[in-house]
Amino acid sequence: MSSLTCAKLILFSIAGVVIQIIGLSLFVYGFFPVKPALSGISGTESFRVPRCNSVHNESEGDLPPDQLKALYEELSGIHPFDRLILMVIDGLPAEFVLGKDHQPPPKALMEAMPYTQSLLANGVAIGYHAKAAPPTVTMPRLKAMVSGAIGGFLDVAFNFNTQALLDDNLLGQFFSVGWKMVMLGDETWLKLFPGLFMRHDGVSSFFVKDTVQVDHNVSRHLGDELSRDDWHLLILHYLGLDHVGHIGGRNSILMAPKLLEMDEVVKMIHTSIIANQDNGQGRTLLVVVSDHGMTDNGNHGGSSYDETDSLALFIGLKNHGSEHASYTVNTVYQVDIAPTLALIFGVPIPKNNVGVLILGTFDSFTDEQHLKALELNSWQLFRLLQAQLPGLSCENSPCESFIDDQGPRKSKCNGNLENMICCLYLNATVLHSSWKSKNVSRSYSRADYSSIVAAYYEFLKTGSEWLSRRVTDKPVNLLAFGVAAMLLSCLILSCLIFHVCKEFCIRQKKNFDLVDGMSNWNLDEAFILGVILIVIISMGSSSMVEEEQYIWHFVTSTLDLLLLRKTMQSLPVKKSFRLYEGTKKIGFQVYSIFVLIISGRTLRGWHQGGVNWTHLPDVSKWLEMAGSNNVKLVQLVSCLLIISLCFFTLSVLGSRRKFVLVVGFTFLVFGLLVLQHIMIYQENTIVQSSSTATLMVQIIFAVLGITPIGTFIALPLVMPISISKKHSSHDSHTSTPDPIEIQYKYPLVELKDSLYVIGWTYIGYWCLLQLMLQQPVNAVPILLILMQILASMIYSSYSGLHQKQWVEIAAFYYLGMAGHFALGNSNSLATIDVAGAFIGMSSYSTLLSGILMFIITYASPILFLISMVMYISVKDTSYLLITQSADSGYLLKIMLALPCLVPMGVNSILLTAYTILLLLMRNHLFVWSVFSPKYLYVCATTVCVYIGVSSVALTVIYSYLVLAFRKRMQCSS
């Protein structure tokens, strides 16, 4: 069998990774396109019946704003309001105000917003549960409210780098008729609509630790703005409630005070303007909305009811009577806000709107105005349907077959989609035309009016639902090429792993003269491969995607038991194999497996992760209920234990070496700095971050970043080079020493010592960083994950020929994924810890906050991957060495091949399999709410693997080259 050289192995590996990146990029580009939008801006054609091949009159755009406004009012026939106050309370669930399941909100929440509740009870306000579409993050939800269009799924990524909104929208329509606009609050509005506001005071929405100043910056201008008459639109975007939720959850002690603060704002606006409409400023409408809701822990981004339950509250539409005072479930869609406001204020509905006029908002208008509004909404939706349904044409329209000479009647609509839409549209328009003729003679009845309204809403809701759920056309060739590239990459990496494993197996049998039975498959090896199959099959179920944590906890605990069984079976070992020097090593392995089992079970119960069962009790909830002082005590104890464990691990190398003392002392100093920060500055309640605390965190971040890099660069340069024939100082953890001739020629002893210290530095400082960034309640899981890593190191260092190396590395990968979910992560975007991503930041940076968010989310997988550096140093691979054929390339190959290839191979199989599954599920009901967020996590995991493997490879190659050069120079001198 011809063996791959190190250079060829690196070349093929890089080729596989590059092909995978190309394939993944093509697939993401093809599967997540930006949704097609009609170009241009709605104008006077919006007030005319849809025609085929209609030509838009471009001269209308040249009209002065006041003439255009007068023209719109004349064409719409609806007397508009004069001014609009749009108050956005970020993250406010509608059930906080309107209740849930026909029940009013809890008493505490009602008492927190007494004035708003009084407006609802008296019929002055009418409220709706406005269902938001996923992803439930601010930017796409604001777009939906002002354009009526549902954005693409990848808007969740653009949320952190907002670009100007170029599509037709309400603010653009208001600007075209000469409205003066003012914006106070979230600066996302300024990025979406640059240059539209004559006055503004924007604040960043990402400083989630700030719950006071972000709202004070809005309210401090409010009194002055309410007294002015030079604006038509006033936008108030309050962020504090969302920030309270991010850190304290729905039940935060600051939630009720924040709601009371928002209630006072509503009261101030209502009493000063809306209740006094005769103040010479014209009729003013106050609309209170929220962009999304929040989960119990205060996060959002997913598609659960709690996250999509946003508010739409209209105040100033005159008295609606007692029918709206009860807590009924008035449910609409968030996109319905755009056409409703456009019709109320007499401007064209945005071209790409898929929303429907909200039932009840036109109760104070005349019947004629209400039907006119429904007609305009129907015309706009029919135009959009014409653009997206080629078969819905005006020439030879199938609609004509439903026209009856016997007079207007409501036809039964069936057939294909085009025929049904035409039928529904015709039903409404024919009934409306008949009503208009009867209206002239005053012969119409109330039943006629109600039937027209019902016909319009039947058409509007059918068209809106189809447009909302319509899957955009995907470029099949692009998707096929992307999948083919990922399959090729998966095949390359899998073949490389098989080739290397086969070569090592042959070398092992040759060196130890083993019988063929040693190459037989063991149960644990079959299970390692079976795990991949289990995960792939489970990903075809939406429920299993939502609850993936159960799979990883199950497979890791099962694997631990299989390893325990195999270790116990190895007690009667033949001496000729010389696998162990006694039962002492087996004892250490058994102890390490028990540590893995116990810590794994504790991690399993720490967070009740996933989506559907988060309400169930778990250890973290119990700790939080015990109070912040108890949480901090547990956090401090965990920090001390982490520092102690790291010192114990470093002491294995021997305390008399100067570089060990220097590295250990440095770690102690910075560990104490982290401990001090936890004790003094880090609170479990929401407080304004002081400049001192921010500076302290920035110093700690700099140290935690610089020290591992400095250790990685400097240690191979200062590591003592020995030309004597002695072994590594931690050979007690390996089964056999490297051959003496190779040790004398190559710096294997020094390399193992260097990698041990560098790997220890990576692990220790990464744990300290996570103690700074993770939620305080996650300090214990970080400690348990560290214990799992150290226990795995002990098991691997004693395994020798008893355990195949690829099995151990795959087990590391699986433990990393189990730890990922044990820290509270899931496949929902709502569990991303946004709060931690802004710790230590004095000014907002998209790049830095994104990096911190990635570090927090993938703390466990990255930790297990970078621990491969220490694994390489403790794992005995001497049985693969042949003195005659040993060279630098071969030595690097036996050290790096499997630790780098196995994680990339496993991830490549899972990535490719889930890509194919996502393609098959493209028409599934939950493709955007369940499968697509999971795919984003799979892509991020791929990036995580690339980073981890690259770090390991760079560390080993650099350390070996420096030490080999130094040893060669020392020997030659």
Phi, psi of 86 (to 5 degrees): -105, 110
Tokens at 917, concatenated: 């599954």
pLDDT, greater one: 508 or 170 = 170
What is the per-residue pLDDT for 159? Answer: 53
Phi/psi-derived region of residue 161, left when phi > 0, alpha when psi is between -120 and 50, beta in every other case:
beta
Interval 876-900: pLDDT, tens:
766 656 555 566 777 888 888 889 9
| Mean per-residue pLDDT over the chain, rounded | 82
Rounded mean pLDDT of 902-929?
87
Name the DSSP letter for residue 100: B
Residues in the chain: 973
Is pLDDT of 919 > 80? yes
Q: Strand locations in 67-124, DSSP E?
A: 83-89
pTM for the structure as a whole: 0.75
Q: What share of the chain is helix, strand, coil (3-state, %, to 5)?
A: 65, 5, 30
What is the per-residue pLDDT for 621? Answer: 85
Q: Judging by beta carbons within 10 Å of its beta carbon (0-12, 13-18, 19+), is residue 669 exposed, middle or buried?
A: exposed
What is the per-residue pLDDT for 14? Answer: 93
Q: Strand locations in 224-353, DSSP E?
A: 233-238, 284-289, 309-315, 331-333
Confidence category of residue 160, pLDDT binned at 50, 70, 90: low
Interval 86-116: pLDDT, tens:
999 999 999 999 998 888 899 999 999 999 9
3-state secondary structure 430-443: HHHHHHHHHHHHCC
Tokens at 729, concatenated: 């100082």
Rounded mean pLDDT of 573-589?
60
Integer CA distances (angstroms), 224 to 84, 227, 743, 868, 869, in order: 16, 5, 80, 61, 62
Confidence category of residue 939, pLDDT binned at 50, 70, 90: very high
Domain boundary assignment for the chain: 6-32+480-520+553-610+626-972, 83-348
CA distance 216 to 679: 29
- Of 266-275, 511-520, 534-543, 867-876, the one with minimum mean pLDDT is 511-520
**Is residue 469 within a helix (H) or strand (E), and if so which, with residue range?**
helix 446-469
CB 180 within 8 A of CB 232: yes
Q: Which CATH class is domain 83-348?
A: alpha beta
CA distance 900 to 13: 9
CA 93 to chain centre: 20
Burial readout 684-721 (b: 16 or more C-beta within 10 A, e: otherwise): bebeebeeebbebbeebbebbeebbeebbeebbeebee
Confidence category of residue 319, pLDDT binned at 50, 70, 90: low
DSSP line for 823-866: TT--SSGGGS-TGGGGTT-SS--HHHHHHHHHHHHTHHHHHHHH
Is pLDDT of 580 > 50? no
CA distance 173 to 148: 13
Interval 179-230: pLDDT, tens:
999 999 988 899 889 889 999 998 876 565 677 888 898 999 999 999 898 9
